[in-house]
Amino acid sequence: MNAAGPSLPLIVPQWPAPPRVRAAFTLRGGGVSGPPFDSLNLGARVGDAPAAVAENRRRLATQLQLPGEPCWLEQVHGTTVADLDAPGAAHSADAAIARRAACVCVMQVADCMPVLFATRDGSAVAAAHAGWRGLAAGVLEATVAQLGVAPRELLAWLGPAIGAPHFEVGEEVRSAFVTRDTAAGVAFSANARGRWQCDLAALARTRLAAAGVSAVFGGDWCTYSEPQRFFSYRRDGQCGRMAALIWLT
Protein backbone atom coordinates (compact mmCIF):
# COMPACT_ATOMS: atom_id res chain seq x y z
CA MET A 1 0.00 0.00 0.00
CA ASN A 2 1.36 3.43 -0.86
CA ALA A 3 1.37 6.40 1.49
CA ALA A 4 -1.95 7.62 0.14
CA GLY A 5 -3.74 4.39 1.06
CA PRO A 6 -6.30 2.74 -1.21
CA SER A 7 -8.00 4.80 -3.88
CA LEU A 8 -11.08 6.52 -2.50
CA PRO A 9 -14.40 6.15 -4.32
CA LEU A 10 -15.71 9.57 -5.33
CA ILE A 11 -18.44 11.23 -7.35
CA VAL A 12 -17.03 13.82 -9.73
CA PRO A 13 -19.66 16.35 -10.86
CA GLN A 14 -20.65 16.12 -14.50
CA TRP A 15 -21.21 19.76 -15.39
CA PRO A 16 -19.68 22.23 -17.86
CA ALA A 17 -17.43 23.94 -15.34
CA PRO A 18 -14.29 25.75 -16.56
CA PRO A 19 -11.05 23.73 -16.63
CA ARG A 20 -9.58 25.39 -13.53
CA VAL A 21 -12.55 24.35 -11.40
CA ARG A 22 -12.15 21.08 -9.49
CA ALA A 23 -14.88 19.41 -7.47
CA ALA A 24 -15.62 16.06 -5.81
CA PHE A 25 -18.06 14.36 -3.48
CA THR A 26 -16.81 11.64 -1.15
CA LEU A 27 -18.48 8.28 -0.55
CA ARG A 28 -18.27 6.26 2.64
CA GLY A 29 -15.62 3.72 1.57
CA GLY A 30 -11.84 3.76 1.60
CA GLY A 31 -11.20 5.15 5.07
CA VAL A 32 -10.07 3.83 8.45
CA SER A 33 -12.99 4.64 10.77
CA GLY A 34 -14.78 1.80 12.53
CA PRO A 35 -18.56 1.29 12.86
CA PRO A 36 -20.84 3.20 12.85
CA PHE A 37 -18.54 5.66 11.08
CA ASP A 38 -17.14 3.13 8.62
CA SER A 39 -15.14 4.01 6.91
CA LEU A 40 -14.34 7.39 5.30
CA ASN A 41 -15.88 9.60 7.95
CA LEU A 42 -14.72 13.20 7.51
CA GLY A 43 -16.71 14.72 10.36
CA ALA A 44 -14.79 15.68 13.51
CA ARG A 45 -17.87 16.32 15.66
CA VAL A 46 -19.78 13.04 15.37
CA GLY A 47 -18.00 10.94 18.01
CA ASP A 48 -15.40 9.25 15.82
CA ALA A 49 -11.77 8.84 16.92
CA PRO A 50 -9.85 12.03 16.06
CA ALA A 51 -6.92 10.04 14.69
CA ALA A 52 -9.20 8.21 12.26
CA VAL A 53 -10.78 11.45 11.04
CA ALA A 54 -7.34 12.98 10.56
CA GLU A 55 -6.16 10.00 8.52
CA ASN A 56 -9.32 10.04 6.40
CA ARG A 57 -8.84 13.73 5.69
CA ARG A 58 -5.18 13.14 4.86
CA ARG A 59 -6.08 10.42 2.35
CA LEU A 60 -8.65 12.68 0.73
CA ALA A 61 -6.24 15.61 0.42
CA THR A 62 -3.57 13.34 -1.07
CA GLN A 63 -5.83 11.73 -3.64
CA LEU A 64 -7.37 15.01 -4.77
CA GLN A 65 -4.02 16.84 -4.66
CA LEU A 66 -5.68 19.68 -2.82
CA PRO A 67 -3.84 23.00 -2.97
CA GLY A 68 -4.44 23.63 0.73
CA GLU A 69 -6.29 22.38 3.78
CA PRO A 70 -10.08 22.51 3.28
CA CYS A 71 -11.91 25.01 5.45
CA TRP A 72 -13.87 22.63 7.71
CA LEU A 73 -16.65 24.85 9.01
CA GLU A 74 -19.01 24.42 11.94
CA GLN A 75 -22.33 24.08 10.11
CA VAL A 76 -25.45 25.25 11.95
CA HIS A 77 -28.25 25.17 9.33
CA GLY A 78 -28.03 28.93 8.86
CA THR A 79 -27.27 31.36 6.05
CA THR A 80 -23.85 32.74 6.95
CA VAL A 81 -21.42 32.64 4.01
CA ALA A 82 -17.71 32.44 4.84
CA ASP A 83 -15.47 34.37 2.43
CA LEU A 84 -12.34 32.24 2.46
CA ASP A 85 -10.31 34.98 0.76
CA ALA A 86 -10.92 37.44 3.59
CA PRO A 87 -8.87 37.59 6.81
CA GLY A 88 -10.79 36.26 9.78
CA ALA A 89 -13.38 34.35 7.72
CA ALA A 90 -16.28 32.96 9.73
CA HIS A 91 -15.70 29.52 11.24
CA SER A 92 -19.41 28.91 11.85
CA ALA A 93 -21.17 29.07 8.49
CA ASP A 94 -23.23 27.02 6.06
CA ALA A 95 -21.65 28.24 2.85
CA ALA A 96 -18.21 29.29 1.67
CA ILE A 97 -16.85 31.13 -1.36
CA ALA A 98 -13.32 31.37 -2.75
CA ARG A 99 -11.50 33.13 -5.57
CA ARG A 100 -7.95 32.05 -4.73
CA ALA A 101 -6.49 28.68 -5.70
CA ALA A 102 -5.25 27.94 -2.19
CA CYS A 103 -8.77 27.98 -0.73
CA VAL A 104 -10.83 24.78 -0.68
CA CYS A 105 -14.56 25.10 0.03
CA VAL A 106 -16.07 22.05 1.73
CA MET A 107 -19.46 21.10 3.15
CA GLN A 108 -20.11 18.02 5.30
CA VAL A 109 -23.37 16.13 4.83
CA ALA A 110 -25.23 12.96 5.77
CA ASP A 111 -28.68 13.62 4.18
CA CYS A 112 -28.68 17.40 3.69
CA MET A 113 -27.97 18.54 0.14
CA PRO A 114 -24.60 20.03 -0.76
CA VAL A 115 -24.78 22.61 -3.56
CA LEU A 116 -21.63 23.59 -5.43
CA PHE A 117 -21.29 26.76 -7.51
CA ALA A 118 -18.83 27.91 -10.15
CA THR A 119 -18.75 31.04 -12.26
CA ARG A 120 -18.72 30.38 -15.99
CA ASP A 121 -15.39 32.20 -16.34
CA GLY A 122 -13.76 30.21 -13.53
CA SER A 123 -13.10 33.24 -11.34
CA ALA A 124 -14.91 31.98 -8.23
CA VAL A 125 -16.42 28.90 -6.62
CA ALA A 126 -18.69 28.24 -3.66
CA ALA A 127 -20.26 25.45 -1.63
CA ALA A 128 -23.46 25.53 0.42
CA HIS A 129 -25.06 23.21 2.99
CA ALA A 130 -28.72 22.99 2.07
CA GLY A 131 -30.91 21.04 4.43
CA TRP A 132 -34.53 22.08 4.61
CA ARG A 133 -33.84 24.69 7.31
CA GLY A 134 -31.05 26.29 5.32
CA LEU A 135 -33.08 26.23 2.13
CA ALA A 136 -36.05 27.86 3.85
CA ALA A 137 -33.84 30.50 5.44
CA GLY A 138 -32.19 31.38 2.11
CA VAL A 139 -28.70 29.89 2.20
CA LEU A 140 -28.59 29.46 -1.59
CA GLU A 141 -29.69 33.03 -2.23
CA ALA A 142 -27.11 34.28 0.27
CA THR A 143 -24.39 32.33 -1.51
CA VAL A 144 -25.39 33.68 -4.92
CA ALA A 145 -25.40 37.22 -3.54
CA GLN A 146 -21.98 36.80 -1.92
CA LEU A 147 -20.45 35.58 -5.18
CA GLY A 148 -21.30 38.98 -6.62
CA VAL A 149 -21.84 38.01 -10.26
CA ALA A 150 -24.95 37.93 -12.41
CA PRO A 151 -26.89 34.72 -11.62
CA ARG A 152 -26.90 33.78 -15.30
CA GLU A 153 -23.10 33.53 -15.06
CA LEU A 154 -23.32 30.77 -12.45
CA LEU A 155 -23.38 26.99 -12.68
CA ALA A 156 -24.80 24.94 -9.80
CA TRP A 157 -24.44 21.25 -8.97
CA LEU A 158 -26.74 19.43 -6.54
CA GLY A 159 -25.02 16.62 -4.67
CA PRO A 160 -26.42 13.49 -3.00
CA ALA A 161 -29.14 14.01 -0.38
CA ILE A 162 -32.02 12.10 1.16
CA GLY A 163 -34.63 11.36 -1.50
CA ALA A 164 -38.30 12.28 -1.31
CA PRO A 165 -39.54 8.68 -0.72
CA HIS A 166 -37.57 8.61 2.56
CA PHE A 167 -37.87 12.22 3.73
CA GLU A 168 -41.15 12.59 5.60
CA VAL A 169 -41.86 16.02 7.11
CA GLY A 170 -44.69 17.79 8.86
CA GLU A 171 -46.89 20.65 7.73
CA GLU A 172 -44.58 23.17 9.42
CA VAL A 173 -41.83 22.31 6.92
CA ARG A 174 -44.11 22.62 3.91
CA SER A 175 -45.51 25.91 5.21
CA ALA A 176 -42.00 27.32 5.61
CA PHE A 177 -41.67 27.14 1.83
CA VAL A 178 -45.10 27.55 0.26
CA THR A 179 -46.07 30.60 2.32
CA ARG A 180 -43.15 32.37 0.65
CA ASP A 181 -43.37 30.79 -2.79
CA THR A 182 -46.34 28.72 -3.94
CA ALA A 183 -44.15 27.16 -6.65
CA ALA A 184 -42.42 25.20 -3.88
CA GLY A 185 -45.56 23.09 -3.55
CA VAL A 186 -44.27 20.80 -6.31
CA ALA A 187 -41.62 19.54 -3.88
CA PHE A 188 -44.17 18.08 -1.45
CA SER A 189 -46.36 15.00 -1.88
CA ALA A 190 -49.02 14.06 0.67
CA ASN A 191 -48.69 10.60 2.22
CA ALA A 192 -51.17 8.28 3.90
CA ARG A 193 -50.14 9.47 7.37
CA GLY A 194 -51.29 13.03 6.78
CA ARG A 195 -47.73 14.25 6.39
CA TRP A 196 -45.53 15.12 3.41
CA GLN A 197 -42.70 13.56 1.41
CA CYS A 198 -40.19 16.33 0.75
CA ASP A 199 -37.97 16.58 -2.35
CA LEU A 200 -34.88 18.58 -1.40
CA ALA A 201 -33.58 18.67 -4.97
CA ALA A 202 -36.86 20.16 -6.21
CA LEU A 203 -36.75 22.77 -3.46
CA ALA A 204 -33.18 23.68 -4.37
CA ARG A 205 -34.03 24.00 -8.06
CA THR A 206 -37.04 26.18 -7.24
CA ARG A 207 -34.96 28.48 -5.05
CA LEU A 208 -32.13 28.68 -7.59
CA ALA A 209 -34.55 29.46 -10.42
CA ALA A 210 -36.12 32.25 -8.37
CA ALA A 211 -32.62 33.63 -7.78
CA GLY A 212 -31.91 33.60 -11.53
CA VAL A 213 -29.64 30.55 -11.65
CA SER A 214 -30.83 28.41 -14.56
CA ALA A 215 -27.82 26.15 -15.21
CA VAL A 216 -28.39 23.47 -12.56
CA PHE A 217 -27.00 19.93 -12.68
CA GLY A 218 -27.00 16.79 -10.50
CA GLY A 219 -29.53 16.01 -7.80
CA ASP A 220 -30.01 12.36 -8.77
CA TRP A 221 -28.68 10.44 -5.74
CA CYS A 222 -30.48 9.36 -2.55
CA THR A 223 -28.28 8.95 0.51
CA TYR A 224 -30.90 6.95 2.43
CA SER A 225 -31.46 4.25 -0.18
CA GLU A 226 -27.80 3.29 -0.80
CA PRO A 227 -26.24 2.33 2.55
CA GLN A 228 -23.13 0.86 0.93
CA ARG A 229 -22.24 4.18 -0.68
CA PHE A 230 -23.64 6.92 1.54
CA PHE A 231 -23.96 7.88 5.18
CA SER A 232 -27.53 8.80 6.18
CA TYR A 233 -28.40 10.35 9.52
CA ARG A 234 -32.11 9.65 9.14
CA ARG A 235 -31.47 6.01 8.28
CA ASP A 236 -28.76 5.23 10.83
CA GLY A 237 -28.77 7.91 13.53
CA GLN A 238 -25.14 8.06 14.60
CA CYS A 239 -23.02 7.94 11.45
CA GLY A 240 -20.15 9.56 9.60
CA ARG A 241 -20.13 12.57 7.30
CA MET A 242 -19.35 12.82 3.60
CA ALA A 243 -17.94 15.94 2.00
CA ALA A 244 -18.55 18.03 -1.10
CA LEU A 245 -15.44 19.98 -2.09
CA ILE A 246 -14.74 22.62 -4.73
CA TRP A 247 -11.62 24.67 -5.45
CA LEU A 248 -9.68 26.48 -8.15
CA THR A 249 -6.36 25.41 -9.64
Reference 200, options 179, 227, 224, 180; nearest CA is 224
Q: At what angle do helices 200-210 and 139-147 cross, to 10 degrees?
A: 40
Q: What span, in angstroms and rounded, lies between the C-alpha atoms of 59 and 41?
A: 11
Per-residue pLDDT reduced to its tens digit, 153-174: 999 999 999 999 999 999 999 9
Q: What span, in angstroms and rounded, lies between the C-alpha atoms of 242 and 227?
A: 13
Q: What span, in angstroms and rounded, lies between the C-alpha atoms of 147 and 213?
A: 12
Q: What span, in angstroms and rounded, lies between the C-alpha atoms of 132 and 60?
A: 28
Domain 10-248 sits in CATH at: 3.60.140.10
Per-residue pLDDT reduced to its tens digit, 16-44: 999 999 999 999 999 999 999 999 999 99
pLDDT for residue 2 is more than 70: no
- What is the arithmetic mean of pLDDT over 196-217? 97
Q: Is the pTM of this model over 0.85?
A: yes
Residue 89 pLDDT level (bands cut at 50, 70, 90): confident
